[in-house]
Amino acid sequence: MPSSRVWFTLAVFGTVIPWAFFGGWFAQKGLSPLSFIADLFVNGAAAGFSVDVLISIAVFWLWSFFDAKREGVTRWWLVVPASFTVGLSLALPLYLGLREKESA
């Protein structure tokens, strides 16, 4: 398995790239969370993709919660705010980095 450094580097990319898009949206539309959520479902394609990602995040939370207990990952909870502030592109590599660091 890759080292924690690789996972944490991927977490940085998983933060910067989505926020390049999010930042443009917020610059154009303002800081309204309700408008952001509404735009996630602006059409069928966006809604389907959004629901797919939201379901994947929920499944990831469930799996990582029990995996963290089994593997002794003490800072598992960091994936929850990571998911809300960026998404799965940050939360997943962050968790894998924490898991790898704990096992090293």
- How is residue 70 written in tokens? 């089994």
Q: What is the pLDDT along the chain (104 residues), one digit of tens a residue?
A: 899 999 999 999 999 999 999 999 999 999 999 999 999 999 999 999 999 999 999 999 999 999 999 999 999 999 999 999 999 999 999 999 999 998 87
Answer for the pair 68, 46: CB distance below 8 angstroms, yes or no: no
Answer for the pair 18, 86: CB distance below 8 angstroms, yes or no: yes
Sign of CA dihedral 44, 50, 54, 60: positive
Domain range for 53: 4-103
Number of domains making up the chain = 1
Model's pTM, two decimal places? 0.92
- Euclidean distance between CA atoms 101 and 104, whole angstroms: 5
- How is residue 2 written in tokens? 């890759």
Strands (E) across 1-104 are located at: none
